[in-house]
């Protein structure tokens, strides 16, 4: 990302007031809420691989987004310009990392929306190594339309968000051989 763009995005105000709220147990009212968890492997090696994938922006890239970050790895305060679509039909979504999680059994981050993003809100991506060795990947988000186009899209916009969340979840486990099969 060019330094000038990174500086502008780093100085921009978030488009919502509830920064860090995805880390709380309760998401703020007035937004659409989303929380999904999948099994992402088993054991310390799977946890390390999932963490590396997540913190290297690969979840977004593998989900089919164009990713232009200010840093090669996720860091508190990093900014990123996410792009969906092609050419003039590309929607750009600027975000800033509002918190990171760096604990022995839990790694991840959340980013919040900046001006120009079609949504207003926050999305968290957390990988956990549970006591039984299961590695999970959880996405938690709250958002609402921030632009006239997003508001006009109505239910289509919600469906797009759910589709991208599914892509994020699959992106973390792509190519892994030790991922537990989902239970019916």
d(CA 128, CA 1): 30
Q: Do the beta carbons of residue 36 and residue 138 sit within 8 Å? A: yes
Confidence at residue 184, expressed as pLDDT on a 0 to 100 scale: 38
Q: Residues 160, 142, 103, 12: is their CA dihedral positive or negative?
A: positive
Q: Is the pLDDT at 49 greater than 70, yes or no? A: yes
> Structural domains in the chain?
3-173 (3.30.530.20)
Confidence at residue 178, expressed as pLDDT on a 0 to 100 scale: 52
Residue with tokens 């060019």: 2
What is the average per-residue pLDDT within 137-155?
A: 85
Confidence at residue 124, expressed as pLDDT on a 0 to 100 scale: 98
Instruction: State the pLDDT confidence band at 15, using cuts at 50, 70 and 90.
Output: very high
Q: Do the beta carbons of residue 149 and residue 116 sit within 8 Å? A: no
Q: Do the beta carbons of residue 174 and residue 63 sit within 8 Å? A: no
Instruction: State the pLDDT confidence band at 180, using cuts at 50, 70 and 90.
Output: low
Q: Do the beta carbons of residue 141 and residue 124 sit within 8 Å? A: yes
- For 74-128, the pLDDT digits (tens) are 999 999 999 987 667 778 899 999 999 999 999 999 999 999 999 999 999 999 9
- For 150-164, the pLDDT digits (tens) are 777 777 777 778 888
What is the average per-residue pLDDT within 2-30?
A: 94
């Amino acid at each position: 990302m060019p330094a000038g763009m990174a500086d502008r995005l780093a100085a921009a105000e978030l488009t919502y007031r509830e920064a860090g709220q995805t880390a709380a147990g309760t998401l703020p009212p007035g937004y659409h809420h989303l929380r999904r968890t999948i099994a992402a492997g088993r054991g310390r090696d799977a946890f390390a691989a999932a963490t590396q994938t997540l913190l290297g922006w690969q979840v977004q890239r593998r989900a089919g987004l164009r990713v232009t970050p200010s840093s090669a790895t996720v860091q508190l305060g990093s900014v990123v310009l996410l792009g969906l679509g092609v050419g003039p039909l590309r929607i750009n979504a600027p975000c800033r990392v509002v918190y990171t999680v760096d604990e022995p059994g839990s790694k991840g981050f959340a980013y919040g929306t900046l001006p120009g993003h079609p949504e207003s809100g926050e999305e968290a991506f957390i990988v956990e190594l549970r006591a039984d060795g299961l590695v999970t990947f959880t996405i938690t988000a709250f958002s609402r339309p921030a632009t006239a186009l997003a508001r006009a899209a109505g239910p289509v916009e919600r469906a797009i968000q759910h589709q991208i969340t599914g892509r994020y979840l699959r992106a973390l486990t792509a190519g892994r051989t030790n991922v537990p099969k989902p239970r019916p």
